[in-house]
A = this chain, B = another copy of it.
């Protein structure tokens, strides 16, 4: 087999690997997240690319994400904010694995003006990749967010990461939906009810009051015949709406946001942003990650 490189994103929950040959992705592989692999990261990685190794060793390996965490494969530093792409790339952890040069990309750390430190690992690769793929993002000031478990709202100026704030809205939503007395376990998956709940939650979030809005998820079922699906949508709308209002009051007052990642969740964010008068566009997360890892399609 001809020479190949391995690029990948190794997060807490998943390992996603791409085999690159002559500027094309010729194979993909998956494996356990760092959260599961832990101290067994090296054999987990070797196992995931075992079929490729049978055809020869890769010329190079480049990984981003929690692979570089303290409990990952090899710890990579954090590039401090403001961080441009060149400084960030130079901060990668480099080592040799079975004779193959490996780079684990750095995370990015910021100490915000209010004295609260924050860190990301993996999202920065997508952000720098987005700027590489979309030159307009590398000019001027932009707010980029990657919606998920821990959202990283990131202020980018002229291609540099200026500051960011992690908001664990996805984790909070999952806790409320799956483990609280507020949302029921008997959701039927009625998308229309869920949409209606989401819209009601967004409307409630307009007041910017999260805690005093939560109990309606329960009381509206008890007293206003709302369904479990409505309640789940309501909680989502309330949380996302309050999140955006808080971000707009602190990090970014502009009227344009770039979303990277999951299309379904991003559509929810786009709807919530629009409700507050903010336009948004959606970029593909995988394409951004690959571009951040240096992949250029041939």
Contacts and interface: CB of A to CB of B under 8 A. Distances in A.
Contact of A179 (B175, B210, B224, B239): B175
A168 interface: yes
A250 interface: yes
A130 interface: no
Contacts of A169: 211
B116 A222 contact: no
A142 B200 CA distance: 31
B179 A212 contact: no
Given A116-B220, A119-B222, A168 B243 contact: no
- A interface residue count range (under 10 / 10 to 19 / 20 to 34 / 35 or more): 35 or more
A239 to B, nearest CB: 7
Contacts of A222: 117, 119
Contact of A109 (B175, B223, B242): B223
A215 B165 contact: yes
Contacts of A220: 116-117
B210 A242 contact: yes
Contact of A212 (B109, B216, B247): B247
Contacts of A179: 175, 179
Contact of A215 (B166, B176, B249): B166
Interface string A83-124: 000000000000000000000000001010000111100000
A182 B211 contact: no
A212 B172 CA distance: 12
In the A-B complex, the 10 residue pairs with the smallest Cβ-Cβ separation, listed nearest first, are A117-B223, A166-B215, A209-B246, A175-B175, A212-B246, A116-B216, A211-B243, A117-B219, A118-B219, A167-B211
